[in-house]
Amino acid sequence: MTKKILTPSEKILASRRKFLTTGAFGAAGALAAPAVVAQTGPIKWRLQTYSGAPLGAHVIKPQIDAFNAAANGEMEIELYYADQLVPTGELFRAMQSGVIDAVQSDEASMASPVDIGVFGGYFPFATRYSLDVPAMFMYYGLDEIWKSAYDEVDNVTWLSTGAWDPLHIFTKEPIRSLADMKGKRVFGVPTAGKFLSQYGLIPVTVPWDDVEVALQTGELDGVAWCGFTEAYEVGWADICNYALTNSVTGAWFGSYFANTASWEKVPPHLQQLFRSTIDQSHYYRDVWYWGGEAKLRVEGEKMELTSIPAEEWAQVTKDAEGFWDDVASSSERAGKVVEIFKAYSANMEKAGYPYR
């Protein structure tokens, strides 16, 4: 039998998939405790993620498999992908009402009714690298702000926020100037879509699993949802012909939440186990995304790279300052978040290489 010759992108994807079983988690079975069940029946949870199944295989499934194995029969989480139980835009309300027990999503996509919800997902130019997100939560006080916001919401507990991939724009027709954005219909995260719409980009919302077909039929002209790793992994790079190298932001804010009543029924040791596997999941995604971005941008063969000229892109970054100020004025807490973004960015600039 003739051995299949892999394309450059297939080689990259295959090598990085090994991390799924040999990296942050190891094999799920290795986490399993001895077969002793402490109660007659396990606690049952239903968790829905914002992501479809191909992406979910990396951003959530390793964590849930690891948790279920290590919970040793005391608790079992059923995993559901984008729109399987409820539409993504209804995730928050479904969790709050107890229809589902937990959610993995950004605030913007699931319409979280908090004044810091606009910062979930892609907030333009708030970050340059994935480590920016946990650094601001750990050292600059975003964790306290997120907790205070959700403490005011009935029956929802915020658990953790981590960094995911950067935001690039992938299209069927090239973008080589701001003028080229005009009229292009793209699937994307709400906050970034709102910001980019001033240049004529048209945000379009469709179910995640329908994006590929919508690209093929012409309902969509592209996606403004992810970085190179994700575009290749889920197949959008097979349809989009061009990748814009100008990054709108360096990392996505993604969070875990639980229905408070469901969370309080979980014993402390399983709460800690769930938090620990969330931390492992954050680490896994950081490496998985980061490891693919540069390699697929340089070695991936499926999309032609384009760039908006520096002088035009400077206008975009300048426009972001006004966007920040508008959001900062929306509430005292939003203003504190923007202050943190500014302070963090200033420190990184002063610190210099290798931080910026």
pLDDT at 3: 67
Give the mean pLDDT of 334-352: 95
Give the mean pLDDT of 101-126: 94
- C-alpha–C-alpha distance, residues 305 and 243, integer Å: 5
Which range of residues forms the domain containing residue 221? Answer: 167-250+301-351
Which of residues 295, 315, 330 is at a domain's end? Answer: 295
- Cis omega (within 30 of 0) for bond into 309: no
Please, what is the average pLDDT of the chain? Answer: 90
| 268-278: pLDDT as tens digits | 999 999 999 99
* 24 and 49 co-located in one domain: yes
Q: Shortest CA distance to 161 belongs to which of 226, 96, 112, 90?
A: 112
- Single-letter code of the amino acid located at 86: V
Q: Within a domain: residue 3? A: no
* 124 and 56 co-located in one domain: yes
Give the mean pLDDT of 148-157: 97
Which of residues 275, 295, 315 is at a domain's end? Answer: 295
Q: Within a domain: residue 84? A: yes
* 125 and 259 co-located in one domain: yes
Q: How many domains does the chain divide into?
A: 2
* 314 and 346 co-located in one domain: yes
Q: Within a domain: residue 333? A: yes
Q: Shortest CA distance to 122 belongs to which of 143, 136, 132, 108?
A: 108
To the nearest whole percent, how much of the chain has pLDDT over 90? 80
CATH of the domain at 315: 3.40.190.170
Give the mean pLDDT of 99-125: 94
Q: Which two tokens stand for residue 167?
A: 């935001």
DSSP 27-76: -GGGGPPPS--SSSS-EEEEEEESS-HHHHHHHTHHHHHHHHHHTTTSEE
* 291 and 148 co-located in one domain: yes
- Single-letter code of the amino acid located at 257: F
Q: Within a domain: residue 10? A: no
* 141 and 196 co-located in one domain: no
Q: Shortest CA distance to 244 belongs to which of 190, 191, 194, 316?
A: 316
* 177 and 63 co-located in one domain: no
Q: Shortest CA distance to 283 belongs to which of 28, 37, 23?
A: 23
> What is the separation of C-alpha 222 from the centre of its chain, rounded to a whole number of angstroms?
18
Q: Shortest CA distance to 178 belongs to which of 47, 85, 315, 13?
A: 315
* 281 and 269 co-located in one domain: yes
Q: Within a domain: residue 4? A: no
* 143 and 187 co-located in one domain: no
Q: Within a domain: residue 6? A: no
Q: Within a domain: residue 8? A: no
* 37 and 172 co-located in one domain: no
- C-alpha–C-alpha distance, residues 43 and 262, integer Å: 9
* 150 and 133 co-located in one domain: yes
User: What are the beta bridge partners of residue 170?
Assistant: 223, 243
Q: Within a domain: residue 281? A: yes
* 45 and 152 co-located in one domain: yes
Query: Which are the contacts of 236, defined by CB distance < 8 A and separation ≥ 6?
Result: 170, 211, 212, 215, 223, 226, 230
| 187-235: pLDDT as tens digits | 988 899 999 999 999 999 999 889 999 999 999 999 999 999 999 999 9
Is 225 within 8 Å of 121 (Cβ atoms)? Answer: no
